[in-house]
Homo-oligomer: A and B are copies of this chain.
Amino acid sequence: MTGIGKSRKTTIYDLAELSGVSASAVSAILNGNWQKRRISARLAEKVTRIAQEQGYEVNLQASLLRSNRSKIIGMIVPKYDNRYFGSIVETFESMARARGLFPIVTCTRRDPALELEAARTMLSWQVDWLIATGATDPDKITALCAASGVSTLNLDLPGTQAPSVISDNYAGAKELTRRILLNCEKRYGEMRALLFVGGRATDHNTRERLRGFRDAHTEAGLTLSEENMLACGYAPQKAEMALRAFFTAGERCTGGLFVNSTISLEGVVQWLRRAGAEAEPLPPMGCFDWDPFVSLLAHDIEMVKQDVPAMLEAVFEIVDAGETGEQRREIPPLFVT
């Protein structure tokens, strides 16, 4: 009976009874090891058909409990509010499924407490691997998981206790800065020091991007004041406030803006609007991260697009090989205007 509202779910015992074989035969057939048991193809087909007719689906709770290889791979991700993380999750899911793994993803809303709670929930799910994306404290997650024998991998933001896959932030930022400076020269006839907006000076990516930002200025023969680096956090409001504070603090002159993420860019654009730059063209700008509407509507903004497919290839190479030791892979990002 495939009827609606059937309360008890079909089990392999039901299937065994219906097809006149034992439950273990059903299990073997449904798992595709009927060859190993030398079960006839005819019988295998019959059982498979009956399973289908009954709308049978294996109970993962029971199956995974028994076989003790969880086949579950977890990912925690800070937010779903930009294309970068969205595409990370989407790519992750499909690559995991392609390997016969069960992906479980959860979002921590950039909340350090939720981050740890999420990691613990992942342990309860018996994940084999946990991919910690953009985690504020990757090493704590690694320690937590290691205590249960679970391997972790840091994505986007590196840690020191597990493999890390990140963008080449230094090279990306340096090249981005170079491009903005070039646009600045085109616009104003000379290069001027830029303003760096967004991110936290405590996180690795921001530090590396600042280093690239600085070095590009040095190579261009420009001196850069520390005041020009506003690592004010990622939230749009913070970027907006930081800019307002910067420009009310004194007579400032900037060649353009290096914005550290699309999220911060929202605040920057908001600030430009409110500052009455409506009619004027945008100043020379670049953003470390990509968004389709930014490239379409403000197509003079230089953008860095992190190479998500390549990053996740690297992730699964490490997972597939079972490399659990500390290592760092830096993936060159792409450039779009």
Contact = CB atoms under 8 A, between A and B. Distances in A.
Interface of A: 2-10, 55, 57-62, 64-65, 70, 79-81, 83, 85-87, 89-90, 93-94, 102-107, 109, 120-121, 123-126, 144, 146-149, 236, 262, 265-266, 269-270, 273, 291-294, 296-299
Contact of A294 (B2, B7, B262, B297): B297
A59 B65 contact: yes
A34 to B, nearest CB: 20
A148 B58 contact: no
A100 to B, nearest CB: 12
Contact of A296 (B8, B107, B266, B299): B266
Nearest to A121: B102
Nearest to A269: B296
A126 B60 contact: yes
Nearest to A3: B147
B6 A148 contact: yes
Total copies of the chain = 2
Contact of A94 (B3, B109, B144, B265): B109
29 contacts: A2-B147, A4-B147, A5-B149, A8-B149, A10-B148, A57-B123, A58-B124, A59-B65, A60-B124, A60-B125, A65-B65, A80-B80, A80-B87, A81-B90, A86-B86, A90-B109, A94-B109, A102-B121, A104-B104, A265-B293, A266-B292, A266-B293, A266-B296, A269-B296, A269-B297, A273-B296, A273-B299, A293-B294, A297-B298
Nearest to A67: B61
Top 7 nearest A-B pairs by Cβ distance?
Answer: A80-B86, A297-B297, A293-B293, A61-B65, A55-B147, A57-B123, A4-B146
A68 to B, nearest CB: 9
A299 B291 CA distance: 17
Name the residue among A9, A103, A107, A296 with the largest chain B CB count within 10 angstroms: A296
A107 B121 contact: no
A150 to B, nearest CB: 9
Contacts of A57: 120, 123-124, 148
